[in-house]
Amino acid sequence: MGTLKLDNVHAFYGKSHVLHGVHFEVGAGEIVALLGRNGSGRSTTVKTIMGLVEGTGSIRWRDGEILGRKAFEIAHAGLGYVPENRDIFPTLTVHQNLMLGQKSRRQDGRWSFDDMYRLFPRLKERQHTEAGVLSGGEQQMLTLCRTLMGDPELIMIDEPTEGLAPKIVELVADYLRELKNRGISVLLVEQKLTIALEVADRCLVMGHGQIVYQGTPADLRGDAYVRKEWLEV
């Protein structure tokens, strides 16, 4: 199992300097929550790891440098990415969307269609339905499952609970626990402190494009200053 390690990562959108020397790592089988206000650099961090934004510094995965590689190469190296905008294929059915998540037709990955339908029974009920007519919560479930069908070792998830009803948020939390049980590493970008504190092993807080705090969920719960300064709106 691999470790993801960022060292002095800077990233730019055009001339705008967004990340300023980001350092952190995600260990094998660990859930790390990346917290912070909107505009703090969390999504840019994940996109830079995934090869979607240009960066400098070093991003190592399983002891190999991945900064500068193409997104599809990074995906094939075992990193999964669930973007914030739920990129589903609206005219394809739920089942077809899941099929597209597979890297190959070989069925020797960790995850099967049955696993997905067990995790989210609602998807099973709607497996022959076009994905475009699903609710926001169902589309989020589908995006999460489609990424898993590619059998990643580490999965980066950007704001999975944004705009979802509390009941669906709890399903997402169950999904994250299932990943942990199977030894999958997770980098979770979240604004909701509750879910992060519930499922994460460690919490990182970003501000102004840098990591300003690292600690356990218990540490963060007990640190009112950090929460007020960097998290509360």
Q: What is the pLDDT of residues 172-216, one digit of tens each?
A: 999 999 999 999 999 999 988 889 999 999 999 999 999 999 999
Q: Which amino acid is at 105?
A: R
**CA angle, 133 then 138 then 141, to 5°:** 135
Q: Is the pLDDT of residue 142 over 90?
A: yes
| Confidence grade of residue 220 (pLDDT, cut at 50, 70, 90) | very high
Q: Among 23-37, 38-52, 154-168, name the one with the lowest average pLDDT.
A: 154-168
Domains and CATH numbers, the chain: 4-231 (3.40.50.300)
Instruction: Identify whether the C-beta of residue 151 lies closer than 8 Å to the C-beta of residue 106.
Output: no
Give the H or E element holding residue 78. none
Q: What is the pLDDT of residues 103-126, one digit of tens each?
A: 766 556 788 899 999 989 999 999
Report the side by side order of strands in the sheet with 16-26: 16-26, 4-13, 55-61, 64-65
User: Of all residues in the chain, what percent carry a pLDDT higher than 90?
Assistant: 75
Instruction: Identify whether the C-beta of residue 4 lies closer than 8 Å to the C-beta of residue 60.
Output: yes
Q: Is the dihedral of CA 103, 109, 112, 116 positive or negative?
A: negative
Mean pLDDT of 40-69: 96
